[in-house]
Amino acid sequence: MNYKYFLPVAAGCMMLFAACNPSGQQKGKADSAAVDTAKQAALPEKGAFEKTVDGKPTSLYVLKNARGMEAAITNYGGRLVSLLVPDQTGKLTDVIVGFDSVDGFQHSTEPYFGATIGRYGNRLAKGKFSLAGKNYKIFTNNGQNTLHGGKKGFQDVVWDAKQLNDSTLELSYLSKDMEEGFPGNLKVTVTYGLTKDNGLMINYKATTDKTTVVNLTNHGFWNLNGVGSGTVLGHLVQIDASSYTPVDSTLIPTGAITKVSGTPFDFTKATTIGARIGVKDVQLINGKGYDHNYVLNQHADSKAVARVEGDKSGIVMEVFTVEPGLQFYSGNFMQSKNTMKGGGKDNLHTAFALETQHFPDSPNQPKFPSTVLQPGQTYATHTLYQFSLKK
């Protein structure tokens, strides 16, 4: 794949805001613990997000478009807190699983709900990589590996926030040289925007003063039936990927790129999440379900790389990106340990994630697309989550 992600400094992304009961389904604890979702969804109270963390103020920022769609984002971790979209009855539904306060995010046993992920999204084998002849060691926070940037990734920092208009929020952060072991002073800007036709656009931009590696994404935990509605196993998923990267027992890619045809990983045709998740397949055993990087087919950002349909709500989410990979996660490590918005628990499979990305462990996998960023270059990428209703 010939993708160009590291663009000249003059490159910009702001213009993009104007663009553009299943068979085999498993029942989780969430089905018996679902909360009442019949009432209209509302955003959390702003006051619950006003706090001081690491000497910096946190807050909740609300975005709206003319069609009634609303988003709530906190600068604590650059997190998407809520996203209200209309379902097939016209009722606003919160499709983001998360908390209704900063305290909830801080004390969660799962640190990534809705967060901006960096410096390196996904896993690095044994927390090591070499760059420009020098070896680097990153804190290992996922068994023997590094996950999502180390001990204190971008999900735990307070970003500087600037609301540009009613529908656009700009977040910025300086990750200092050797923070979490990564080289270079990395200046990062993440811009959230609601489009006129009910899309959520996320633009990422970064520059460095030393050769480094970068892989930014957002870890939204989605449930298109709404927060507290039960498992996502009945959601229909389609991914435009003929291959994926299989993993070892520690979820590090083996280096192989394997065809999905004839495997439980084939989502080239719309299939429910629960249809094959219980198949005795070594990869599903390794991931305890789906937690794998899909090698997206050649695509322009005007073509959806994934489509998900909520089986109860009729809400459809399409994903557009210029990234080469998409991590599909079926909520396999959700353990009912946290109380979420609306009072429900984070029960098994009550959310899914679709993280646009470069491949996991790319700095240690020379055959994978490069994640190296040089001084004088600009990392620039974007993802659009587009919402509509089942026809």
What CA–CA distance (Å, rounded) separates 31 from 347? 9
Three-state secondary structure readout of 42-64: CCCCHHHHCEEECCEEECEEEEE
Q: For this structure, is 323 an active site residue?
A: no
Determine which one of 219, 235, 292, 349 is catalytic: 219
Quote the tokens at residue 27. Answer: 């029942």
Taking each continuous run of H as one helix and of E as one strand, the counts in the chain are 2, 29
Alpha helices in 194-337 (DSSP H): 282-287
The DSSP-derived string for 262-309 is: TSTT--SS-EETTSSTTS--HHHHHHTS-EEEEEPPS--TTS-SEEEE
Find the catalytic residue in 180, 355, 358, 382. Answer: 355
Look at phi and psi of residue 255 and say left if phi exceeds 0, alpha if psi is from -120 to 50, else beta. Answer: left
Distance CA 145, CA 166 (A): 40
d(C-alpha 307, C-alpha 351), whole Å: 15
Radius of gyration of the chain measured on its C-alpha atoms: 19
Output DSSP code: residue 368: S
Angstrom distance (rounded) from CA 200 to CA 193: 6
Place of tokens 């984070």: 346
How many whole angstroms from its chain centre is CA 374? 25
CA–CA dist 359, 357 (Å, integer): 6
The verdict on whether 355 is a catalytic residue reads yes
The residues annotated as belonging to the active site are: 219, 355
